[in-house]
Chain A
Amino acid sequence: DAGVIQSPRHEVTEMGQEVTLRCKPISGHNSLFWYRQTMMRGLELLIYFNNNVPIDDSGMPEDRFSAKMPNASFSTLKIQPSEPRDSAVYFCASSSGTGGTEAFFGQGTRLTVV
Chain B
Amino acid sequence: GESVGLHLPTLSVQEGDNSIINCAYSNSASDYFIWYKQESGKGPQFIIDIRSNMDKRQGQRVTVLLNKTVKHLSLQIAATQPGDSAVYFCAENNGNTGKLIFGQGTTLQVKP
Contact = CB atoms under 8 A, between A and B. Distances in A.
Interface stretch (A12-20, A60-68, A69-77, A94-102): A94-102
B32 A100 contact: yes
A99 B101 contact: no
Interface of A: 4, 31, 33, 35, 42-43, 45, 48, 50, 55-56, 91, 93, 95, 97-108
Given A43-B89, A43-B105, A106 B43 contact: yes
B102 A99 contact: no
A101 B46 CA distance: 11
A108 B100 CA distance: 17
Output the residue of A43, A48, A104 with the most chain B CB within 10 A: A43
Interface residues of B, number: 26
Contacts of B104: 42
A103 B98 CA distance: 11
Interface in B25-50: 31-32, 34, 36, 41-46, 49
Contacts of B51: 100
13 contacts: A33-B100, A43-B44, A45-B101, A56-B97, A91-B44, A93-B44, A95-B100, A99-B97, A99-B98, A102-B49, A103-B100, A104-B46, A108-B43
A99 B44 contact: no
Contacts of B93: 99-100
B69 to A, nearest CB: 21
B43 A48 contact: no
Nearest to A107: B43
A85 to B, nearest CB: 19
Nearest to A92: B43
B62 to A, nearest CB: 14
B45 A98 contact: no
